[in-house]
């Protein structure tokens, strides 16, 4: 067979093989052939089972808060929550100050735009933003808006609100708190920021800020 025919054919199939290897072993959305990691036994996506707070041994680290720290003011304020599904890797955004840096950047952006207004975040006695760590017995698939069989579709924000409401004993002055949720899934780069607030006008302001701020670079 003519080598001038073989060279482009072999090159083509080499490229195809490399592309398939990339999809299967590198790209997170195409890892169909790679054995998936088994979920922790404590995970339970059963629709009849409410989301419950859990913790892995690896979650028990210094400086982490599993409940709201004593408030420094009785005024209304925003409380930050680092929420993890049961299978998600813990990148410690709550204790390595990633969340605090992001919220301070939000406040700086908001103050620059409004010139006078600032968002009051819940802080601890060290005047650092108080971030509560929560992990639940549900997977990220449960948080998604996917419907299986005859299940009733429940929006992700409603699921998160129920988790917070069911565990309101974790928070001080609950009725005066609004919440900003940092929800991590299993992928290295993905973090979802959500607001559970009563004031619709404030929610719209926060959504606008978050859409115009690159939190990954803070």
Output the pLDDT for position 213.
44
Same domain, 30 and 48: no
Nearest by Cα to 149 from 62, 46, 59? 46
Q: Vertex 59, ends 53 and 134: CA angle to 5°?
A: 35
What percentage of residues in the chain have a pLDDT greater than 70?
63
If you average pLDDT over every residue of the chain, what do you get? 75
In this structure, the answer to whether residues 92 and 170 fall within a common structural domain is: yes
Same domain, 49 and 77: yes
Helix, strand or coil, per DSSP, at residue 152: coil
The reply to whether 93 and 23 lie within a common domain is no
- ∠ CA 136-137-139, rounded to 5°: 95
SS (H, E, C) 83-96: EECCCCCCCCCCCC
Q: What is residue 17's predicted lDDT score, i.e. its pLDDT? A: 59
The span from the CA of 123 to the CA of 73, in Å, is 9
Residue 208 has what pLDDT? 46
**In this structure, are 27 and 131 located in the same domain?**
no
pLDDT at res. 66 = 95
What pLDDT is attached to residue 110?
78
Percent of the residues in the chain that have a pLDDT greater than 90, as a whole number? 30
CA pair distance 201, 61, nearest whole angstrom: 37
Distance CA 89, CA 144 (A): 18
> What digits encode the pLDDT tens for the residues 169-216?
999 999 888 888 888 765 544 455 555 544 444 444 444 444 444 444
Domain that holds residue 7: 1-36
Q: Mark whether 14 and 32 lie in a shared domain.
A: yes
- Comparing CA positions, the residue from 163, 155, 23, 17 lying closest to residue 85 is 163
Burial of 176 (0-12, 13-18, 19+ CB in 10 A): middle
Number of domains, the chain: 2
Domain match, 2 and 27 both? yes
SS3 category, 181? strand
pLDDT digits (tens, 9 = 90+) for 59-92: 999 999 999 999 999 998 989 999 999 998 898 9
pLDDT computed for residue 197 by the predictor: 47
Residue-wise pLDDT tens digits, 151-181: 667 778 788 888 998 999 999 999 888 888 8
pLDDT in tens, 127-138: 999 999 999 999
CA distance 74 to 20: 57
Q: Is the pLDDT of residue 218 over 70?
A: no
One domain for residues 131 and 192: yes
């Amino acid at each position: 067979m003519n080598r001038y025919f073989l060279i482009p054919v072999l090159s083509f199939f080499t490229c195809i093989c490399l592309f398939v290897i990339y999809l299967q072993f590198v790209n997170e959305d195409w890892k169909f052939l790679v054995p998936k990691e088994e979920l922790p036994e404590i995970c339970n996506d059963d629709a009849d089972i409410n989301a419950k707070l859990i913790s892995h041994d690896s979650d028990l680290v210094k400086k982490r808060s599993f409940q709201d720290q004593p408030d420094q003011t009785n005024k209304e304020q925003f409380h930050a929550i680092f929420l993890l599904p049961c299978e998600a890797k813990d990148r410690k955004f709550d204790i390595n100050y990633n969340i605090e840096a992001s919220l301070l950047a939000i406040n700086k952006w908001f103050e620059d735009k409004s010139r006078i207004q600032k968002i009051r975040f819940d802080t601890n006695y060290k005047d650092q933003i108080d971030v509560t760590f929560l992990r639940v017995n549900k997977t990220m698939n449960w948080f998604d808006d996917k419907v299986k069989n005859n299940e009733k579709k429940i929006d992700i924000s409603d699921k998160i609100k129920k988790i917070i409401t069911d565990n309101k004993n974790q928070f001080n002055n609950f009725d005066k708190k609004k919440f900003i949720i940092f929800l991590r899934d299993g992928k290295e780069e993905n973090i979802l920021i959500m607001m559970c607030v009563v004031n619709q006008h404030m929610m719209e302001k926060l959504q606008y800020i978050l859409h115009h701020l690159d939190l990954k670079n803070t």
